[in-house]
């Protein structure tokens, strides 16, 4: 637990480069003696530790962990244990899993006979493009990757696609007392959003299909007695694989009469077949430690696992039990973190001792 607590004490919020460097230095010192390739993109540090030679970029297994966290009150960077839970920002997402992966890499890196990589990153919470995405663009590859997002010791083998869509409505200005002389762009946006939610209803309970969320609405109008001629909104869409080809054409058709729609973020799907032999081996390791296999499911949110899918590498999200990610009183279950360590150990040792480097 001590390494997890030390990580939590560092407020490694995405824009604090000094804190990101500090937490990265702490992680790097833990794996001294292994070959480490450092990466920096837009000032954000990450590294790849390898057991198979300097600047190695192709691996059989990659353990992927991010040490950046979302903003929180300063008091939540003071870890404490209570009733079998470790509390603190990042405890579950995902400094606990990162510590387990680091300690396990130290233990097994020189014992396993296949190329094993430990990928430590610092921008998953803000998109991942400067760390995992950056490394993948520079040739990092793996037959199979595990990213330690909190999954309650279940396995996420696929995730919805993230699409961010900017809507813009244009109108005609007029004096606020004479609205009939103008066209109110905010009302146009209101009607367009209403039609969007007719097509994709706002979900009030868990839903495995595509969801659309209006996250911001703005206008350039700064005068309170003028009909606005501009309104802009941002949609956060999480697109299910079965809707991939139809979602955007349908959305544009729905809003076409009132606003224009422009895609500003369009990620790839994270997808790995449930029939993957690596997933089967991970399930066997889980059953060995926990007594039963875990659920395999599709996540609503995205993670750095999508960058592996983008280049044809299989991978899953798999992490310990916890709650309140990105919320008050984030915690990780201490026993599950111990189980997590031993599950990964059994998984990494389960490969044939004659596994050869690619």
pLDDT, tens digit, 9 for 90 and up, residues 189-230: 999 999 999 999 999 999 989 999 999 999 999 999 999 999
Check pLDDT > 70 for residue 14.
yes
294, part of any domain: yes
| Domain co-membership, 262 together with 277 | no
CB environment 220-254: b (16+ within 10 A), e (fewer): ebeeeeebbbbbbbbbebbbbeebeeebbeebeeb
Domain count of the fold of the chain: 2
Is the same domain home to 29 and 100? yes
Q: Is 100 in the same domain as 58?
A: yes
Please compute the mean of the pLDDT values over residues 335-357 and round it to a whole number.
83
Note the pLDDT tens digit of each residue in 282-293: 999 999 999 999
355 domain residue, yes or no: no
Residue range 253-280: average pLDDT?
93
Structure tokens at 79: 């870890």
Question: Could you give the C-alpha distances from 252 to 213, 233, 249, 313, 343, in angstroms and in order?
Answer: 15, 14, 5, 32, 46
DSSP for residue 172 = B
Burial class of 127 by CB neighbour count within 10 A (0 to 12, 13 to 18, 19+) = middle
CA distance 61 to 128: 20
Residue 243 shares a structural domain with residue 262: yes
pTM of the model: 0.88
**295 falls in which pLDDT band (50, 70, 90)?**
very high
Task: Decide if pLDDT at 149 tops 50.
Answer: yes
Q: What is the pLDDT of residue 353?
A: 47
- Is residue 356 included in any domain, yes or no? no
Residue 356 has pLDDT above 80, yes or no: no
Same domain, 63 and 141: yes
For the chain, the first-to-last Cα distance in angstroms comes to 35
Instruction: Give alpha helix (H) positions in 117-212.
Output: 132-137, 185-199
Banded model confidence at residue 357, pLDDT cuts 50, 70, 90? very low
Residue 352 has a pLDDT of 58
Domain boundary among 266, 300, 332: 266
What pLDDT, on the 0 to 100 scale, is given for residue 274? 94
Domain boundary among the residues 266, 300, 329 is at 266
Identify whether 336 is part of a domain: yes
Cβ atoms within 10 Å, residue 357: 12
Q: Are both 225 and 278 inside the same structural domain?
A: no
**Which domain CATH number covers 243?**
3.30.70.360
Of 342 and 15, more confident: 342
Predicted local distance difference test score (pLDDT) of residue 188: 97
pLDDT at residue 337, as a whole number: 97
DSSP string over 239-301? E-GGGTTTHHHHHHHHHTTT-EEEEEEE-PPEE--TT-HHHHHHHHHHHHHHSSPPPEEEESS
- What percent of the chain has pLDDT above 70? 98
Flag whether 73 is in a domain. Answer: yes
The residue-averaged pLDDT of 61-73 equals 96
Res 278: pLDDT: 97
Asked if residue 20 and residue 111 are part of one domain, the reply reads: yes
Mean pLDDT for all residues in the chain: 94
Q: Considering the domain boundaries, does residue 354 fall inside one?
A: no
Query: Is 23 found in the same domain as 154?
Result: yes
Q: In terms of domains, do 37 and 134 share one?
A: yes
What tokens appear for 329 in the block? 């009183």
Residue 326 inside a domain? The answer is yes
Please give the pLDDT value at position 351: 86
pLDDT at 350 over 60: yes
Give the residue from 242, 266, 290 where a domain finishes: 266
Residues 115 and 242 placed together within one structural domain of the fold: no
Contacts of residues 37-44 at CB distance under 8 Å and 24 or more positions apart, as own/partner, are: 39/131, 39/134, 39/135, 39/138, 41/129, 41/130, 41/131, 41/134, 42/130, 43/17, 44/17, 44/20, 44/122, 44/123, 44/130, 44/131
Q: The domain that contains 51 carries what CATH number?
A: 3.40.630.10
Domain assignment present for 358: no
Strand ranges (E), the chain: 35-41, 44-50, 58-66, 80-82, 85-87, 116-121, 141-147, 155-159, 161-170, 174-175, 211-218, 226-227, 230-239, 260-266, 270-271, 296-299, 314-318, 322-323, 331-333
Q: What is the span of the domain harbouring residue 249?
A: 161-266
Which tens digits make up the pLDDT trace of 39-63? 999 999 999 999 998 889 999 999 9
Domain co-membership, 55 together with 133: yes
110 lies in the same domain as 195: no
Poorest-pLDDT segment among 93-102, 246-255, 263-272, 347-356: 347-356
């Amino acid at each position: 637990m001590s390494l997890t607590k030390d990580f939590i004490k560092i407020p490694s919020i995405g824009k604090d480069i000094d804190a990101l460097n500090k937490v990265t230095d702490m992680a790097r010192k833990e794996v001294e003696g292994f070959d480490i390739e450092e990466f920096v993109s837009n000032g954000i540090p990450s590294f790849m530790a390898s057991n198979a030679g300097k600047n190695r970029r192709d691996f059989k297994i990659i353990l992927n962990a991010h040490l950046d966290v979302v903003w929180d009150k300063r008091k939540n960077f003071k870890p404490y244990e209570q009733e079998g839970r470790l509390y603190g920002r990042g405890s579950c997402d995902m400094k606990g899993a990162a510590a387990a992966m680091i300690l396990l890499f130290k233990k097994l890196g020189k014992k396993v006979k296949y190329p094993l990589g430990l990928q430590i990153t610092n921008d998953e919470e803000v998109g991942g493009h400067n760390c995992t995405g950056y490394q993948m663009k520079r040739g990092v590859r793996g037959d199979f990757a595990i990213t330690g997002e909190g999954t309650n010791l279940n396995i996420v083998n696929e995730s919805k696609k993230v699409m961010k869509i900017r809507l813009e409505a244009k109108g005609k200005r007029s004096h606020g007392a004479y609205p009939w002389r103008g066209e109110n762009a905010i009302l146009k946006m209101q009607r367009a959003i209403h039609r969007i939610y007719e097509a994709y209803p706002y979900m009030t309970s868990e839903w495995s299909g595509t969801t659309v969320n209006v996250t911001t609405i703005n206008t350039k109008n700064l005068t309170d007695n003028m009909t606005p001629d501009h309104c802009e909104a941002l949609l956060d869409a999480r697109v299910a694989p079965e809707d991939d080809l139809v979602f955007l054409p349908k959305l544009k058709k729905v809003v076409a009469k009132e606003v224009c729609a422009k895609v500003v973020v369009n990620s790839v799907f994270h997808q790995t077949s449930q029939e993957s032999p690596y997933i089967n081996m991970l399930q066997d390791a889980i059953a060995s430690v926990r007594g039963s296999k875990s659920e395999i499911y599709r996540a609503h949110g995205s993670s750095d696992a999508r960058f592996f899918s983008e280049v044809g590498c299989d991978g899953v999200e798999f992490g310990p039990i916890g709650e309140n990610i990105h919320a008050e009183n984030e915690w990780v279950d201490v026993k599950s973190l111990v189980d997590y360590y031993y599950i990964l150990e059994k998984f990494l040792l389960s490969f044939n001792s004659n596994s050869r480097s690619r």
